[in-house]
Amino acid sequence: MRAQVQQGLVLGMSTLAFTVCFMVWMMFAVLGVPIKELLALNETQFGLLAATPVLTGSLVRLPLGLLTDRFGGRIVFFLLMLACVLPLYLITLATAYWQFLVLGLFVGLAGGSFSVGIAYVAKWFDKQNQGFAMGVFGAGNAGAAVTKFLAPALIAFGTWHLVPKVFSAILFITALLFWFLTAEKKEHRSAGGATLREQLKSLKDPAVWRYCQYYSIVFGGYVALALWMTKYYVQEYGFSLQSAALLAACFSLPGGVLRAVGGWMSDRWGAQSVTWWVLWVSWICLFLLSYPQTQLQVQTVNGIVDFHIGLNATLFTVLLFVMGIAFAFGKASVFKYIANDYPQNMGAVSGIVGLAGGLGGFVLPIMFGALVDLTGVRSSCFMLLYGVVWVSLIWMYLSEVRKRPLLGKQPPASQSPFSSIAQGEEHVRSANA
């Protein structure tokens, strides 16, 4: 009974801590809008401002995953949250663009909490329930939606300076609660076991790089759009900051909360099947979202007729909502792959995959801004993501789908899909010989 209580507290507090960290990590999605007006930034500069915290949070995921494997998730998670409190508060004193960028780099450390928490939580659950548990923890992505609810309210109540003050207080209180309500087991640590070189051997496995590609879409794309959509609604449809943030939450909220459902689906039908259909649903949504607002003139027998083709705000929001659900399922299914294939090295591998996803979340907003500056077409951000999803669908088909039935028997937990395929190819070569 005591073990179940500990297990529940670890999952609950880790999810809460990750939610708050993600809320802080996505802060510039809303805070960046008044700062953009204050400093008269162009689209590329805004993209860099919004994405700067994502860069640090991405780069530290791998070392934090290694530290979690070695010293345990509880102490690493606690110290990580404390390290972000002061830089977060100091944003209230920033006045120049470079100051926001530098402080954003330090605040971005909060984004590294995912690779700590996912390995910490997974070790408390058995194989049959790991996907669901990791999905519940990953629901902390809903912190992006919390930011969109809370930050505009704080700005409306006072000024933008109130946002980092309140967020730093919330983060500090959460860190204390996490420390006093969670526990750690010595057997969950691998200090003195695997060396750094051994932990990094997984970089040689092509399957890891494939999972990085998938995650750069379902997580990197999620982060990028979560940062970009508030401003998109303001500029494309003319909403106020508060209304735009609320509508943008229609993408962020399901993208976080429904991750647990994706974990359950991955436990039941396998990570491969869920990921495959996630990519197809995303591809269809992005195809429709990519079409820019278009004015056509058609010459008819009765003269010229004007036509307008484009998504209105309602249909646009519905498509975003559907894609948010798909991304939520995909984030869980990718980490089910990792839990199956790398149970003893999960911190390192989740750090690598998380790094790739986070870098996607950093690079994409900058590219979104650059594309708008170059083309003047706001929907160019969806065109870019559409191309990335196409690459992933082709790669997944060639490497997995055509060589193993989608709903067939899954490979053993200790065996990566790549090794199964390689053995199959070797068997065919031997038979031909």
Mean pLDDT computed over every residue of the chain: 83
pLDDT beyond 70 at 396: yes
Residues 6+ apart with CB under 8 A from 2: none
Nearest to 100 by CA among 149, 61, 45: 45
- 228: Cα within 13 Å, side-chain hemisphere: 32
pLDDT beyond 80 at 194: no
CA distance 175 to 186: 21
Q: Is residue 157 part of a domain?
A: yes
Tokens standing for 313? 């705000």
Predicted local confidence at residue 398, as pLDDT: 87
Rounded to two decimals, what is the model's pTM?
0.74
Indicate the number of domains in the chain.
1
239 contacts 123 by C-beta, under 8 angstroms: no
Q: Is residue 425 part of a domain?
A: no
Report the b/e string of 353-384 with b at 16+ CB within 10 A.
bbbbbbbbbbbbbbbbbbbbeeeeebbbbbbb
Predicted local confidence at residue 63, as pLDDT: 84
Q: Is residue 432 part of a domain?
A: no
Tokens standing for 221? 């794309």
Residue by residue, what is the 3-state secondary structure of 187-215?
HHCCCCCCCHHHHHHHHHCHHHHHHHHHH
Residue numbers of the domain that contains 403: 2-187+199-420
Measured in degrees and rounded to the nearest 5, phi and psi for residue 289 equal -70, -25
pLDDT beyond 70 at 137: yes
Q: Is residue 428 part of a domain?
A: no
Predicted local confidence at residue 256, as pLDDT: 67
Give SS3 for 308. strand
Instruction: Using DSSP bridges, classify how beta strands 294-300 and 303-309 pair: parallel, antiparallel or unpaired.
Output: antiparallel
For 7-16, 51-60, 82-91, 381-390, which range has the lowest pLDDT when averaged over its residues? Answer: 51-60
Q: Is residue 253 part of a domain?
A: yes
Per-residue confidence at 199, pLDDT binned at 50, 70, 90? Answer: low
Q: Where is 285: in which H helix or E strand?
A: helix 271-289
125 contacts 105 by C-beta, under 8 angstroms: no
How distant is the alpha carbon of residue 215 from its chain centre?
8
230 contacts 248 by C-beta, under 8 angstroms: yes
CA distance 297 to 300: 10
Q: Is residue 193 part of a domain?
A: no
CA distance 52 to 111: 11
CA distance 364 to 71: 33
CA distance 25 to 51: 10
- Percent of the chain at pLDDT above 70? 87
pLDDT beyond 90 at 78: yes
Tokens standing for 332? 């869980």
The CATH number of residue 265's host domain is: 1.20.1250.20
CA distance 158 to 176: 27
CA distances to 157, 246, 317 from 150, rounded to whole Å, are 11, 10, 20
- Supply angle C-alpha 51, 140, 30, rounded to 5: 40
pLDDT tens digit string along 399-422? 877 776 555 444 444 344 434 433
Q: Is residue 427 part of a domain?
A: no
CA distance 291 to 293: 7
Q: Is residue 194 part of a domain?
A: no
pLDDT beyond 90 at 233: yes
